[in-house]
Chain A
Amino acid sequence: AGHGSGPAEDGAPPAPARVLFPPTFSVSEIKNKQRRHFMFLRWKQQQRKEKLAAKKKRRKEREALGDKAPPKAIPKTIENQRVYDETTVDPNDEEVAFDEATDEFAPYFNRQTVPKILITTSDRPRGRTVRFCEQLSTVIPNSHVYYRRGLALKRIIPQCIARDFTDLMVINEDRKIPNGLVLSHLPDGPTAHFRMSSVRLRKEIKRKGKEPTEHVPEVILNNFTTRLGHSIGRMFASLFPHDPQFIGRQVATFHNQRDYIFFRFHRYIFKSEKKVGIQELGPRFTLKLRSLQKGTFDSKFGEYEWIHKRREMDTNRRKFHL
């Protein structure tokens, strides 16, 4: 009876209060598109109603039980369901601690070296990239921007080492927007190649803050759990001088989520003991790691520690590497 009323009322009739769909009937069997669409909408509405009713019932039961109610079910998220990565670092792992004490960042973490960074771009940077470089250099203390007019990377690296730079950042550009970042730790350090996306310059961020000052910001590194993530995190940490100046109240955050690293730069203020306000200043961008090389930048002969292999790594939605 309910089924018969459907095709008879075409156009936009109000749906009856209780429509009976015979169990063998499937909405996709109707050949007429308009009718099929209509029946599908009605079916959807019915589903939603049923779901709402079920929810209400469950909530009533929970209230009725009171304290004896079973605990709320935790919804499944991708982070919950993440495939366990065997290279996850345990905070108490000695081997990792030993490795980190002897790897290339050890002098930085032992306070022996002060970071000095060279920011450059690919050939012929366009306006947006140039401005982004400038802003980046204000965010990272002790950094210098040099333009590259046709100089080969392999040749400027020894020059940089001679002038005591600790890190080299190359921002690659495509169609007037920055889209890649090569970060290499200079005295023979690892080189990481990232794909950069959603770059927002300072004027595009909705905030009313002033520019970042010259104070050394703090660094927050979130969610770098695996070995690979650990080394990348240390790379980021070594960009900033090790003694943050808390008067500046600035903080640079590298947050890793599902293999995307989000960079933000904020100024914080503690309104009370339990409340902090943050105001975003400074550019923001997201990075996705493409490859990590052992030595300094060398596309042909470098030894790759990790490459993103699309066919193997992108297929599983629950598996992340950083």
Chain B
Amino acid sequence: RTKTQNFCRNEYNLTGLCNRSSCPLANSQYATIREEKGRCYLYMKVIERAPFPRRLWERVLLSKNYEKALEEIDENLIYWPRFIRHKCKQRFTKITQYLIRIRKLTLKRQRKLVPLRRKIERREKRREEKALIAAQLDNAIEKELLERLKQDTYGDIYNFPIHAFDKALQQQDAESESESDAEKEEDDEEMDKREFVEADDSDLSDFEDMDKLETSEEEQEEEEEVEEKASHSKSKGKTPLKGPARRKRPYIEIEYEEETEPTTKTKAV
């Protein structure tokens, strides 16, 4: 209901407002345009058919061509009052416009609305909270990082005296025993050990660690990076001992030299 006029609820109304001149019930001679499934029809009501309610409204299919349809309307409503003719054409124009818009929109992607279910949302939220508490993320991350540190994925960067020193000592002893055979064996053992240890780990870190081991070896060979790390770590307040860990390097370099040649070239550039 607007301020001045009512809306008419009759479906055959031409303008949509409730006036004496545009009420299909009040006028015995009336015409409307209605559309069904994308086709427009002209509906007409004349006084001769007033006693036959079933045949009251005569329906004429209008052509799809806009101008032709307008002509058809004119043709059918010839000798009809000006008001009805004019309003019919206006209504027909509006209808075709919105049909065009519908067709254009259906070509574009349409947003599909999926209703949320409140109970399910609440359930999911609660479960998520519980899972978060059960996860203990900080501890898990810290544990994982410490494990990686233990398994030497970081290689040369972090030097904690006890750990690395002992390891370096062990390896130095091994070196002094025999030549490359022993070294290679040790390497194989270490590799096996690494593989064995990794197998116990949670699963995906296998791939990660394997690859990271290789990368850490690569990185060890870069002088610049070592200096960078040294300066970087010194700036963070640590004093790495380069001595013991350095002894590890030579024989590992022998192992991985071939692989890393291309990368060293690119890095040097």
Contacts and interface: CB of A to CB of B under 8 A. Distances in A.
Interface of A: 77-79, 89, 91-92, 109, 111, 123, 150, 152, 195, 197-198, 218-225, 230, 233-234, 237, 242-244, 246-247, 251, 253, 255, 257-260, 262, 264, 266, 268-270, 272-274, 276, 278, 286, 288, 310, 314
B215 A152 contact: no
Given A91-B199, A246-B219, A276-B145, A79 B124 contact: no
Given A91-B199, A222-B202, A260-B127, A255 B163 contact: no
A197 B128 contact: yes
Given A150-B108, A150-B109, A221-B204, 10 more contacts: A91-B199, A111-B211, A195-B124, A222-B144, A222-B202, A224-B203, A247-B229, A273-B149, A276-B142, A288-B124
A269 B90 CA distance: 75
A79 B133 CA distance: 12
Interface residues of B, number: 52
A253 B141 CA distance: 8
B131 interface: yes
A55 B143 CA distance: 32
A161 to B, nearest CB: 20
Interface string B6-37: 00000000000000000000000000000000
Contacts of A259: 131
B145 A221 contact: no
Nearest to A195: B124
14 contacts: A150-B108, A218-B148, A220-B145, A224-B202, A233-B204, A246-B155, A247-B225, A251-B141, A251-B145, A255-B135, A258-B127, A258-B131, A276-B142, A310-B120
Q: Is the interface of A mostly helix, strand, loop or mixed?
A: mixed
B269 interface: no
Given A244-B212, A251-B141, A274-B146, A109 B207 contact: yes
A286 B128 contact: yes
B236 interface: yes
A94 B3 CA distance: 79
Contact of A237 (B134, B155, B207): B207
B138 interface: yes
Contact of A91 (B131, B206, B229): B206
B128 A234 contact: no
A211 B233 CA distance: 18
A247 B208 CA distance: 17
B38 to A, nearest CB: 24
B203 A89 contact: yes
Contacts of B145: 220, 251, 268, 270, 276, 278
Nearest to A216: B215
